[in-house]
Amino acid sequence: MKKQLTFYFIRHGRTVWNEQGLMQGHGDSPLTEQGILGAQKAGSALQHIPFVAAYSSVLKRTIDTAEHIIGERNIPLFQHKGLNEQFFGKWEGQWVEPLREQAEFKQMISDPANYKAETNGGETYQQLADRAMKAIQDIIQIHDKGNILVVSHGHTLRLLIALLDGATWQNHRAAGQSVSLLNTAISIVHYDSEKGFTVEKVNDAGHLG
């Protein structure tokens, strides 16, 4: 059977740790008022889209964001741990600014192919790519057609959307391959079982103005 799906990828709303400049990863913090409002604005912008299902990571900030986007609509919401944020090990909960001086942090930002996550005991981009792509394949296995809402995280979605657009985990942070995603920005990717993935829109924040 031919499958045709449209994915609406959204990064979670702004959180307390975002405001405080702390590394989140698998650590979690609640949405701020701005984060809740951003999710509600995304929900308004997507009000006309008939979603057959919604998926988030298992982290509360994405579940809450998804629930604010869905609002009163009768859309089933599922969690998939493959959509979790990249795990940053002992960096989680630490201030980002001092970490920027570390060689391995600089590698994480600009040289994914050689980022080994050795000093923090975290997750490599290859590990992140494998589980995020498996999550999308799992969703495709379940649904044949329709619109799918996916609420995930900054690093995960940046890598995932780049992969769906033809990049590799090794080069996805090179110039022109990907962008840092804004909280509650909307990215749209079409899937056709005969043609593969087509990226329509990335990091659209028009609804947040």
* 181-208 confidence digits (pLDDT tens): 999 999 999 999 999 999 999 999 999 9
Active site residue 85: yes
Cβ atoms 112, 173 nearer than 8 A:
yes
Question: DSSP string spanning 38-50?
Answer: HHHHHHHHTTTS-
The closest alpha carbon to 113, from 41, 197, 170, belongs to 170
The closest alpha carbon to 141, from 186, 191, 179, 189, belongs to 191
Q: How confident is the model at residue 1 (pLDDT cuts 50, 70, 90)?
A: confident
Residue 171 has which token pair?
């080069």
- 18 belongs to an annotated ligand binding site: yes
> Of the residues 80, 85, 104, 155, which is catalytic?
85
**Residue 14, C-beta contacts closer than 8 angstroms, at least 6 positions apart:** 31, 32, 34, 35, 38, 183, 184
- 12 belongs to an annotated ligand binding site: yes
Category of 93 on φ-ψ map: left (φ > 0), alpha (ψ -120 to 50) or beta: left
Averaged pLDDT for residues 39-59: 98
CATH topology of domain 4-48+61-142+165-186: Rossmann fold (3.40.50)
- 89 belongs to an annotated ligand binding site: no
pLDDT of residue 158: 98
Active site residue 12: yes
- 171 belongs to an annotated ligand binding site: no
**Sign of torsion, CA 134 141 166 23?**
negative
Cα(132)–Cα(83) distance, rounded to whole angstroms?
A: 6
